[in-house]
Structures are given as structure tokens and as C-alpha cells.
Amino acid sequence: MKKYVIFDFDGTLINTNDVIVGSWQATYDHYLGRRVSRKEIELSFGETLVDTIRKMIPGADVDEVVDYYRTWQKNHQKEMVTIYEGIRELLDQLRNMGCVIGVGTSRTSASFWNYMRQFGMEDTVDEVVTMDDVTRHKPHPDTVNVVLARMAGLPEGSEIPEEIRKEAIMLGDTRFDIGCATNAGVDSVLVTWGREIDYNEITAWGTAPTYIIGRPSQFLELIGSAHQTE
């Protein structure tokens, strides 16, 4: 039985992929004078914005680049961002099954809640950990550890019992999500409803997901039978 269900945000709950790719392409064109392919940009999905900038635009003023990127995204988010089909229904059914729902994201808190308000989803999750809440980001386990401790009602900084880890599972669409879950000792689900991920890419990660699913309803198939037999 999985009681604690942790979601990544971008590419998992909300389809921000197009606006993220567009933001990066505009940013790279501005600062590098060239267009970067969508596939290359997708390989950085799940990484913090600052880490990607330092890697891809070395020597740039990070704060300036962040501002350029976020301004472009803010100006285009309404027409380019959607909620994935089946997500609202999945969250409702998990709630009805008695699951505790969390989110672990590398977005800032302000950005995350901005999107949640845009789609009227503020009340669909119980606990959230953003990049503002941890100093060591995915694939380091802190994101999962902090949000899981909160979901389980444990005191801040306390050790998470193994039985709680066994009741937890994380869904995400990047190697950073899968690595974070694995490093935290939690089962992982790679979701592919946001973008195509081929076997060679997964193999190159070095960390395999526990499960791979292509649509939200499949997650209920994974955990539904366990709940029904309780």
C-alpha cells in the first residue's frame, strides 16, 4: 500500500514543457546567439534554473539571466501552459483513497503557487517542498525527505522510519526526480505523458525507476489493488 504520494510539478502535474523550452530558447538566443535544440533543453529538465545557467552560460550574470528567463516565461505562460488530462481526476481519487499528497519541485515557491492558483489547484495537495525549502536539490534526497517528513507529521529533522519510506512513492519525468526518490529510499514512477523518453536515455541515467507509466490513470492501477485488499 502506498499512503504517501509525492509528485514532481513540471512535466508531471502541469504541462509547462513548451513554455520552459521556449524560455530557454529565447534565453540562449539572447545570451549565446544561437538556438539550442529542444532535446538538449529537455535533458536539463528537473535541474535548478541556476545550475543550468552556470553550466550552459558560464560567466554570465546569473541574476540577470534568471530575470530574462522568468520574464519571458511570465509573458507566455497563460497561452502555453496546461494541466495534463487526467491529473485532476487522479488527485481526487487519491484523496478519496486516503492518500496524503505531496509535491517536491525545483521551482521557487512563488512560481509554484502562481501556477497552482492559475489552475485552481491550491487545495489539491497537502504538503509542498520547493527549491526555497532545501539547499541540496534533486537528485539529492533532501526534497523527498523533507516533504515526506511533513506528510507523515514527523518533527523537523527527525529520522524517517523505514515503514514510512515503504509507504511512499514519487512520480516524476526526469532523471533528477528518479534519482531523488532512489537516494531517499522511496519507490519511483517515471511518467511519460509529458514527453517521449526513450530506453537509451533512461539507461544512461544509471538509476532505473521502479515503474514507468504513460497516463495518470495507470498509477491507480499500480496502487489500487493494494488499497482494495486492506
Task: Report the CATH number at residue 125.
Answer: 3.40.50.1000
Instruction: For residue 44, give its domain range.
Output: 17-80
pTM here is 0.89
Residue type, 47: E
- Domains in the chain, number: 2
User: Is the domain of 10 the same as that of 42?
Assistant: no
Amino acid at 70: R
Statement to judge: residues 21 and 11 lie in one domain: no
Statement to judge: residues 25 and 124 lie in one domain = no
In a structure prediction context, what are the per-residue pLDDT tens digits for the chain, which is 230 residues long? 799 999 999 999 999 999 999 999 999 999 999 999 998 999 899 888 999 999 999 999 999 999 999 999 999 988 999 999 999 999 999 999 999 999 999 999 999 999 999 999 999 999 999 999 999 999 999 999 999 999 999 998 889 999 999 999 999 999 999 999 999 999 999 999 998 887 777 877 888 999 999 999 999 988 864 444 33
User: Are 87 and 157 members of one domain?
Assistant: yes
d(CA 21, CA 32): 15
Same domain for 130 and 218? yes
For the packed helices 62-80 and 109-118, what is the interaxial angle rounded to 10 degrees?
10
Please check whether residues 34 and 91 belong to one and the same domain.
Answer: no
In what helix (H) or strand (E) does residue 96 lie, and over which residues does it extend?
helix 87-96
For residue 209, cis peptide bond before it (omega within 30 degrees of 0): no
221 and 173 within one domain = yes
